[in-house]
Amino acid sequence: MKKPLPRPAADGLADWQPSATQDWRQVPDLETPFVAVSEAPLMRNLQRGAAIAKREGLSLRPHIKTHKSLAIARSQLALGASGLTASKPREALVFIKAGFPSITIAYPVVAAGAARTVLREAQEAGCDLRMIVDSVAGVESLEEAATRPLPVFLKVDVGLGRCGVRPTTAAFDAVLKALLKAPNLKMTGLLSHAGHSYAAGGPDGIRGVAEQEIDVLEHARDRVVQAGGSVDEISVGSTPTVLAATDFGQATELRPGNYAFLDLTALRLGIAGWKDLALAVVATVISENDGFSIIDAGSKTLSSDGAPHGGTAAGFGLAIPVSGSDDRLPLTVARLSEEHGFVDHGGQRLGIGSRLAIFPNHACPVANLATTLTMVSTDGTYERASVDAHATSSS
């Protein structure tokens, strides 16, 4: 007789049903560990983002930091995205060179050399490149690099406390004044990232963050207009606010990234269900002891990420068996070392050689650690997609 099923240690996952992750029983028998993307939830997720933008009458400009893949970016454009968002010049360059027509680098570039390189490449490729500023130094760098009017957003801090200026500050006025005076920069609008929505607990809290974001941006817009500038675009974007908010005020554009894959963080926030999880690491049990099944995926595959931006997470992922008919509740990946994961088997060993699909806390760094994504169809066939902008985070 089987022992009672262990409950997963992670919070907020009580509603799991075996059927919700049924698709993951079809993963191909490849050398592990590998990063699998299930095409059915991926396409549903991309369509969900596109449908929200359409419903709200907004542009969708997905952030490619989540997948770094030309193939997935092409799917996003095919579903109506107006362009792409990238983290940094080196990441953007991969998509510029591949011919994507419009890219926003949502990162304050303060090195004129790096700005010059990406501007030159964009001009050669005919890419509509947009950049952001949040300091006078940043305005000066872009002005030094630009040789013809460059569309620039003023980055507004809407509560995350990372980049951006707040509209009630002298810094806001100073950056705005410098931007409006810069001959080679064209003030296009305002841009924000409400990353603190990841710490907002659930959909109601996230909606509160989104409302505050819109308030701050509309205040900022008034200040720009008072200073003699114009605001053609207001660009917002974080996956929680895009998926949970019901009112985007005067925003014109959405820039979600993680919505493509989703992960346990989205699940815990209540903005995704089990069937929406599009990315998992497939790993093999290589050793077992009384406490743990040891798998061949550690922090160099799953990353050490807990939940982003201050959320809580128990462990480093949740695992379901992909071979056999074991339908126990998802098991917690309790610890990681670099090439090993410790799966809490709750007293029921899985067996050496068993394969598991592990849903990570945060999908983006997992894709970043891989060079290919194994794209799995519902019939179990697969093809490999390159992580084209892999290894662009350090030079």
Binding site for its own copies (CB under 8 A): 30-35, 65, 87-88, 107-111, 113-114, 134-135, 137-138, 157, 161-164, 195, 281, 284, 286-289, 291-292, 294, 296-301, 303-306, 308-310, 335, 337-340, 342, 352-353, 364-365, 368-372, 390-391, 393-395
Q: Which is nearer to its own copies, 63 or 207 (CB)?
A: 63
Minimum gap (Å) between residue 56 Cβ and its own copies: 26
Q: Which is nearer to its own copies, 182 or 297 (CB)?
A: 297
Minimum gap (Å) between residue 376 Cβ and its own copies: 14
User: If 0-12 CB within 10 Å is exposed, 13-18 middle and 19+ buried, where does residue 175 land?
Assistant: buried
HSE-CB at 30 with a 13 A cutoff on CA atoms is: 20
Task: Give, to the nearest 10 degrees, the angle between helix 112-125 and helix 89-97.
Answer: 10
Q: Which is nearer to its own copies, 163 or 191 (CB)?
A: 163
Considering only CA atoms, which of 59, 64, 126 is closest in space to residue 96? 126
Q: Which is nearer to its own copies, 76 or 293 (CB)?
A: 293
Q: Which is nearer to its own copies, 151 or 159 (CB)?
A: 159
Cβ density class 88-116: b for 16+ within 10 Å, e for less: bbbbbbbbbeeebebbbbbbbbbebebbb
Minimum gap (Å) between residue 304 Cβ and its own copies: 4
Q: Which is nearer to its own copies, 101 or 380 (CB)?
A: 380
Minimum gap (Å) between residue 268 Cβ and its own copies: 17
What is each CA distance from 143 to 149, 152, 229, 233, 318, in whole angstroms? 9, 10, 17, 21, 48
Helices and strands of the chain, counted as H and E runs: 11, 17
User: Which residue type is seen at 393?
Assistant: S
Task: Give, to the nearest 10 degrees, the angle between helix 39-56 and helix 70-78.
Answer: 40
Minimum gap (Å) between residue 347 Cβ and its own copies: 15
d(CA 332, CA 345): 8
Q: Which is nearer to its own copies, 252 or 256 (CB)?
A: 256
Minimum gap (Å) between residue 357 Cβ and its own copies: 14
**Which helix (H) or strand (E) element contains residue 37?**
strand 34-38
Minimum gap (Å) between residue 190 Cβ and its own copies: 16
For residue 341 the two structure tokens come to 């994961």
